[in-house]
Chains A and B, each alone.
Chain A
Amino acid sequence: MKKTEFLCINGLKRKLGQFSLGPISLTLKRGEYFVLLGPTGCGKTSFLSHLAGLYGTDREVIFLDDKDIGRLPSNKRRIGYVMQTGNLFPHLSVKANIAFGLKYLKMTRGEYSQRLKRFLDLFGLTALADRSCLTLSGGETKKTAIARSLIIEPRLLLLDEPLGMLDHNGRKEMLEVLKIIHHELHTTTIHVTHDRHETWMTGQSCGVMNQGKIIQTGSVSELFRQPVDLFTAEFFGGMNIFPASFQGKKAKLSWIDLDLAQSPEKKIGWVLIRPENIRVVNPLHNHKIVGKIAGVRDFGEYIEIEVQIDEKNRLFLHTSVDSAHCFSIGNTLHLDWARDSIHAFSQGKI
Chain B
Amino acid sequence: MKKLPFLVFILHLSGHIILSLSNYLLPFELFNLLLLTTNLIIALLLFRGRGDLLLGLGFMMILAAHGFIGQKIAPDALTSGAILMVNLLTLYVGYKIFSQRSFLHFIPFAAIYFLLFYIFIVTMKNAEALFLLSIMGLCATIREPKLLAYFLALVFSFTFCQPYAWEAALVSFFFLKMMFSIRSGTFSSRIAIIFLGCGAGLVFLVLLPVLVIIMQEDPRNIINILKMADIRQAIYLTLVTATLSSIILALFCIPLAYAVSRLQFKGKNLLLSLIDIPIVIPQSAAGLALLAVFSKQQILGGALFTIFGLRFDGTILGICLAQVFVAMPFLMKSALAAFDSVHIVYEQASRTLGASSFSAFWRIALPLASRGIFIGFVLAWARAAGEFGAVLFIAPYPVTAPIAVYNRFTSVGVIQAAPLVATLLLFSLVMFFFLQLASRMIPAAYQKES
Chain A residues proximal to chain B, CB less than 8 Å: 49, 52-54, 73-75, 77-81, 83, 85, 87, 89-93, 95-96, 99-101, 103-105, 132, 148-149, 152
Shortest distance between the CB of A185 and any CB in chain B (Å): 16
Residues of chain B at interface, number, CB under 8 A? 22
Chain A to chain B: the 8 pairs with minimum beta-carbon distance, closest first: A101-B353, A104-B354, A96-B450, A81-B352, A74-B351, A91-B446, A87-B349, A87-B345
Q: Which of B354, B357, B367 contacts A152 (CB 8 A)?
A: B354
If A92-B450, A96-B449 touch, whether A87 touches B351 (CB-CB below 8 Å) is no
A-B contact pairs, 11 of them (CB 8 A): A73-B357, A74-B348, A80-B353, A81-B349, A91-B367, A91-B447, A92-B446, A92-B450, A93-B450, A103-B354, A104-B353
- Closest CB in chain B relative to A64 CB, distance in Å: 14
Q: Chain A residue with minimal CB distance to B367?
A: A91
Is there a chain A Cβ closer than 8 Å to B433's Cβ?
no
Complex-state Cα separation, A144 to B290, whole angstroms: 54
When each residue 359-399 of chain B gets 1 if its CB lies under 8 Å from chain A and 0 otherwise, what string results?
10001100110000000000000000000000000000000
Which residues of chain A come closer than 8 Å to B315, judged between CB atoms?
none
Q: Determine the chain B residues whose CB is within 8 A of the CB of A73 once the complex forms.
A: 351, 357
Q: Which residues of A contact B447 (CB under 8 A)?
A: 91-93, 132
Assembled-state Cα–Cα distance A90/B364 (Å) = 9
Say whether chain A's binding surface is mostly helix, strand, loop, or mixed: mixed
Docked complex Cα distance between A63 and B433 (Å): 58
CB atoms of B345 and A105 under 8 A apart:
no
B443: chain A residues within 8 A (beta carbon) = 91
Contacts of A93 in B (CB 8 A): 447, 449-450
B140 in contact (CB, < 8 A): no
Query: Nearest chain B CB to A120's CB is how many angstroms away?
Result: 13
**Chain A, residue nearest B342 (CB):** A90
Q: Which residue of A lies closest to B352 (CB)?
A: A81
B353, A100: Cβ atoms under 8 Å? yes
Judging by beta carbons under 8 Å apart, are B348 and A54 in contact? yes
Q: Does B87 contact A (CB under 8 A)?
A: no
Majority secondary structure, B binding face: helix
Known: A91-B367, A93-B450. A83 touches B349 (CB 8 A): yes
Bound Cα distance A21, B46 (Å): 96
B111 CB, min distance to chain A CBs, angstroms: 52
Q: Are B356 and A75 in contact (CB under 8 A)?
A: yes
Specify which chain B residues have a CB less than 8 angstroms from the CB of A149 in the assembled complex: 352-353
| Chain A CB within 10 A, most for which of B351, B352, B446, B449 | B352
Asked, given contacts A91-B368, A92-B449, whether A105 binds B349 with beta carbons under 8 Å apart, the answer is no
Residues of A contacting B352 in the complex (Cβ-Cβ under 8 angstroms): 52-54, 74-75, 77, 79-81, 149
CB distance from A111 to the nearest CB of B (A): 16
Q: How long is the Cα–Cα vector from A29 to B93 in the complex, in angstroms?
A: 90
Complex Cα distance, B350 from A54, in Å, reads 11
Check B450–A87 contact: CB distance below 8 A: no
B292 to A: closest C-beta gap in Å: 45
Would you give the shortest CB distance from A93 to chain B, in whole angstroms? 6
Against A, the Cβ 8 Å flags (1 = close, 0 = not) of B29-71 are 0000000000000000000000000000000000000000000
Contact B353 A99 (CB under 8 A): no
Query: For the complex, is B355 an interface residue (Cβ under 8 Å from A)?
Result: yes
Q: A75-B355, A81-B349, A85-B345 known; 10 other A-B pairs, CB under 8 Å? A: A52-B348, A53-B352, A54-B348, A87-B348, A87-B349, A90-B368, A96-B450, A100-B355, A101-B354, A148-B353
A82 to chain B, nearest CB (A): 9
| A96 contact set on B, CB distance < 8 A | 449-450
Q: Assess A75 versus B351: contact at CB under 8 Å? Given A87-B346, A90-B368, A91-B443.
A: yes
CB-CB nearest in chain B for A97: B450
Cross-chain contact B348 with A100 (CB below 8 angstroms):
no
Q: Which residues of A contact B351 (CB under 8 A)?
A: 53-54, 73-75
Chain A residues near B355 (CB-CB < 8 A):
75, 100-101, 104
Is A89 touching B364 in the complex (CB atoms < 8 A)?
Answer: yes
CA distance A53 to B352 in the complex (A): 8
- B221 CB to nearest chain A CB (Å): 47
Docked complex Cα distance between A190 and B353 (Å): 17
Chain A residues with CB below 8 A from B346, complex form: 87, 89-90
User: How far is B363's CA from A95's CA once the two chains are assembled, in angstroms?
Assistant: 15
Q: How far is the CB of B59 from chain A (nearest CB, A)?
A: 65
CA distance A81 to B359 in the complex (A): 18
CA distance A99 to B447 in the complex (A): 14
> Chain A nearest CB: distance from B83 CB in Å?
65
**Closest residue to B354 on the A side, CB-wise?**
A104
B450 touches A95 (CB 8 A): yes
- Establish whether residues A105 and B450, one from each chain, have CB atoms under 8 Å apart when the complex forms: no
Looking across the interface, which residue of chain A has its beta carbon closest to that of B364?
A: A89
Alpha-carbon distance between A323 and B349 when the two chains are bound, in angstroms: 53
How far, in whole Å, are A251 and B367 apart by their CA atoms in the complex?
66
Q: Which residues of B contact A78 (CB under 8 A)?
A: 354
Bound Cα distance from A103 to B349, whole angstroms: 15
Question: B348 to chain A: which residues have CB within 8 Å?
Answer: 49, 52, 54, 74, 81, 83, 87
Q: In angstroms, how far is the closest chain B Cβ from the Cβ of A265?
A: 43
Q: Tell me the minimal C-beta distance from A119 to chain B in angstroms.
A: 13
Q: A73 vs B446: C-alpha distance in the bound complex, in angstroms?
A: 28
Considering only residues 225-263 of chain B, those with a C-beta below 8 Å from chain A are none
- Distance from A100 Cβ to chain B, minimum over Cβ atoms (Å): 5
A100 to B348, CA, bound (A): 13
**Whole-angstrom distance between the Cβ of A154 and the nearest chain B Cβ:** 8
Complex Cα gap A93–B359 (Å): 18
From residue B364, how far is it (CB to closest CB) to chain A in Å? 6
In the bound complex, CA of A100 to CA of B350 (Å): 8
Question: For the complex, what is the distance from the CA of A87 to the CA of B360, rounded to whole Å?
Answer: 14
- Asked if B364 contacts A83 (CB within 8 A), the reply is no
* Contact flags B325-361 to A (C-beta < 8 A → 1, else 0): 0000000000000000000011011111111110100
Cα of A167 to Cα of B414 in the assembled complex, Å: 71
Known contacts A91-B447, A99-B450, A105 near B354 by CB under 8 Å: yes
Query: Would A89 and B350 be within 8 Å (CB), given that A96-B450, A99-B450, A104-B355 are in contact?
Result: yes
Q: For the complex, give the distance between the alpha carbons of A254 and B149 in Å.
A: 84
Bound complex: CA of A52 vs CA of B350, how far in Å? 11
A65 CB to nearest chain B CB (Å): 17
CB distance from A181 to the nearest CB of B (A): 17
